[in-house]
Amino acid sequence: MDGKKGNMNRYLIFSLVALLFLGCKDTPEKDSDAFIVLKKNSYSTSSINGITVYRLNERGRLMNGYYVVYNELSKWEEFSIENGILNGVYITFHPNGNFSSSSNYYQGQLHGEDKYYFPSGKLQRIVNFTNGKRTGEIVDYFESGQIRGKSKLENEDVVESTTYDIIGTIVSQTFIKDSRTITQVIRNGKVHRETISSNYDDYEAIKLFNEDGTLKHFFRMLDQDGTPTIVKLDPEGNEIKRFNLKDNPQEAMKYMRLLGL
């Protein structure tokens, strides 16, 4: 009888464990002491004072630990959470399993290099953060590895940028001069087009250049009593003539052709 009771007890224990496992199949599964496996859409987020807080959908518990999140076909993301807040690495994946992005967080804020990747796994962009704010510079890459562009940041705003073609030749650049943002399109090493925008008033202008780099046209755009107006300027910025686009449709068409619009 004791043997039969022992077998019966073992059978009941086994059945109970199996039922518990099957009944809890949607709860986080801890693969090891290093990480917790979680199905996509098993957690939700909310924002408190600008910080994203992570909770498990089951009972709304704050998440804690290193999570590996997957969907039906592949790994979706990985992240480190402390008391519901991102703290450490955060990684997302392309459907083919390669990295899509990798970031670092400190107490819920981006802190360090924020990297983005092509589906091939090659680096696409690097942005630097300090306590949730963009700092330093942004660097973009072609999939072949050459630099596609660089942008310098001040107070999170881009104050200087340069873009390149696949062989490293500058094709455009933006910078600030005399409180005006200037953007230049470069062709064959010469400025082809330049747009000028004031950072403190409504000044807007554009310059077009000849192939040898000499000035071809200089226009300023105005909103005069609610009517779009074009002012033609000499190289020193003095007015030559002006016309409003409403009363001079032919001049407007000529201006748009000059700009390639």
Q: Is 234 among the domain residues? A: yes
Q: H/E element holding 134?
A: strand 133-141
12 close to 41: Cβ distance less than 8 angstroms: no
Number of domains in the chain: 1
Give this prediction's pTM.
Answer: 0.77
For residue 204, being part of any structural domain is answered with yes
Tell me, what's the pLDDT at 12?
35
Closest CA to 125 of 157, 103, 153: 103
Domain limits for position 239 = 169-261
Q: Which two tokens stand for residue 126?
A: 């690097």
Instruction: Write the pLDDT tens digit of every residue in 64-90.
Output: 999 999 988 889 999 999 999 999 999
Report the C-alpha gap between 46 and 34 in whole angstroms: 26
Whether 62 maps to a domain, the answer reads no
Give the mean pLDDT of 91-113. 96
Cα 221 to Cα 104, 183, 195, 253, 259, distances in angstroms: 44, 16, 11, 15, 13
In a domain, 247, yes or no: yes
CA atoms within 13 A on the CB side of 69: 19
pLDDT in tens, 207-246: 999 999 999 999 998 887 788 888 999 999 999 988 887 7
Residue 64 CA, chain-centre distance (Å), reads: 27
**Cα 115 to Cα 108: distance, rounded to the nearest angstrom:** 17
The Cβ of residue 246 has, within 10 Å, a number of other Cβ atoms equal to 11
Predicted confidence band at 21 (pLDDT cuts at 50, 70, 90)? very low
In the chain, % helix, strand, coil (3-state, to 5) comes to 10, 55, 30
Identify whether 107 is part of a domain. Answer: no
Per the domain annotation, does 211 fall within a domain?
yes
Is residue 78 in some structural domain? no
Q: Give a yes or no: residue 87 inside a domain.
A: no
Distance of CA 131 to the CA centre of its chain: 17
Facing residues of 147 across strands? Answer: 141
